């Protein structure tokens, strides 16, 4: 188990909701696709790090740190005796080539060089460690996890781990002598504390409450074709059965994610869910799970 687990970013969850409730512009549609693909690759990478001996390694996923007013992200940071490993994970599909220190797709489109990314994050991580007078060796690598990925003309000296090398890399890493000390745990706790929860890289499209499709969605397939009874929600598409309280609370979380400053009221949730016929039922569930506050003529919940 990782010392810091990987979770879906708010940006990804926002995009999922918006993609279901509006037509995303083509640019944002591509960003969303890349986010889904990137997260899928990180989860695949985690299958390898989970095999590492927890008595020898500490794994911190999705670190967003800041030093000297500069933010940087590390997909995974592996702490071990003697050397720590910043990991950049890429889920690129298909064929690419390397030329003049740049990455290109086969149609000659230049893409952001992940080697530059890992070099930058390694440099900034050293600055973070220097500030707390923590001395260690860092060995950064870019991990390509998609089995369809091929990179032509790649120089041998670059810190690249290819899909066919993943198993061997982690077997050899696991075989290393490594004894975790109190300093390692203190560093891990410090980095988790320093982790920024609000990403500065959000690229969501413009949207308003009025232009989003309303309706309670299936927790399994995200379909709007659900029927609500007194206690259950049934999806007409995949047959998923959900507790009605869980469905309402899921809708509230979605509202708060999309509109962080919105006041949650019975009428708002009723309008958002659409298929629930009883406001009284919504009010009862909100009272159980949230604190109620009065503002003028209406009650809101937090």
The predicted structure's pLDDT at residue 121: 96
From first to last of its 302 residues, the chain has per-residue pLDDT tens of: 789 999 999 999 999 999 999 999 999 999 999 999 999 999 999 999 999 999 999 999 999 999 999 999 999 999 999 999 999 999 999 999 999 999 999 999 999 999 999 999 999 999 999 999 999 999 999 999 999 999 999 888 999 999 999 999 999 999 999 999 999 999 999 999 999 987 666 789 999 999 999 999 999 999 999 999 889 999 999 999 999 999 999 999 999 999 999 999 999 999 999 998 889 999 999 999 999 999 888 899 99
Report pLDDT for 200: 62
Token pair 């309670």 in the structure block, residue = 216
295 to each of 252, 279, 291, 301, how far by Cα in Å? 19, 19, 13, 11
What confidence score (pLDDT) does residue 201 get? Answer: 66
DSSP character at residue 264: B
Q: How far is it, in rounded angstroms, from Cα 57 to Cα 80?
A: 5
Which pairing describes strands 292-295 and 150-152: parallel, antiparallel, or unpaired?
unpaired
Q: How far apart are CA 184 and CA 176, in angstroms?
A: 16
pLDDT at 297: 83
| Tokens found for residue 171 | 């077997």
Output the pLDDT for position 155: 86
Q: CA-based angle 165:139:132, to the nearest 5?
A: 150
**What is the predicted pLDDT for the residue at 202?**
75
pLDDT of residue 197: 84
pTM: 0.91
* Count of Cβ atoms closer than 10 Å to residue 30 Cβ: 11
Q: Which candidate, 50, 77, 52, places its Cα nearest to that of 64?
A: 77
Rounded CA separation 148/106 (Å): 14
Is 136 in contact with 118 (CB distance < 8 Å)?
no
């Amino acid at each position: 188990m990782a010392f810091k687990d990987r979770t879906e970013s708010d940006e990804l969850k926002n995009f999922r909701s918006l993609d279901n409730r509006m037509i995303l512009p083509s640019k944002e549609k591509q960003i969303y696709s890349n986010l889904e693909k990137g997260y899928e690759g990180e989860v695949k990478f985690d299958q390898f790090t989970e095999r590492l001996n927890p008595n020898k390694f500490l794994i911190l996923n999705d670190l967003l740190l800041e030093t000297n007013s500069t933010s940087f992200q590390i997909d995974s940071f592996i702490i071990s005796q003697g050397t720590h490993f910043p990991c950049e994970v890429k889920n690129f599909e298909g064929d690419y080539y390397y030329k003049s220190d740049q990455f290109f797709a086969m149609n000659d489109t230049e893409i952001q060089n992940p080697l530059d990314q890992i070099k930058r994050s390694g440099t900034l991580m050293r600055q973070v460690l220097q500030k707390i007078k923590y001395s260690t060796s860092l060995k950064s690598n870019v991990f390509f996890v998609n089995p369809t990925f091929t990179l032509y003309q790649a120089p041998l000296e670059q810190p690249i781990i290819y899909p066919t090398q993943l198993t061997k890399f982690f077997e050899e890493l696991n075989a290393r002598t490594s004894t975790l000390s109190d300093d390692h745990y203190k560093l891990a706790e410090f980095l988790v504390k320093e982790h920024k929860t609000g990403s500065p890289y959000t690229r969501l499209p413009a949207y308003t409450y009025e232009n989003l499709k309303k309706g309670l969605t299936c927790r399994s397939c995200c379909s709007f074709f659900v029927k609500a009874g007194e206690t259950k929600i049934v999806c007409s598409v995949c047959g998923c059965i959900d507790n009605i309280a869980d469905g309402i609370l899921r809708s509230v979380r979605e509202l708060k994610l999309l509109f962080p400053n919105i006041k949650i009221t019975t009428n708002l949730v009723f309008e958002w869910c659409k298929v629930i016929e009883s406001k009284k039922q919504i009010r009862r569930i909100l009272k159980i799970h949230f604190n109620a506050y009065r503002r003028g003529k209406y009650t809101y919940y937090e």
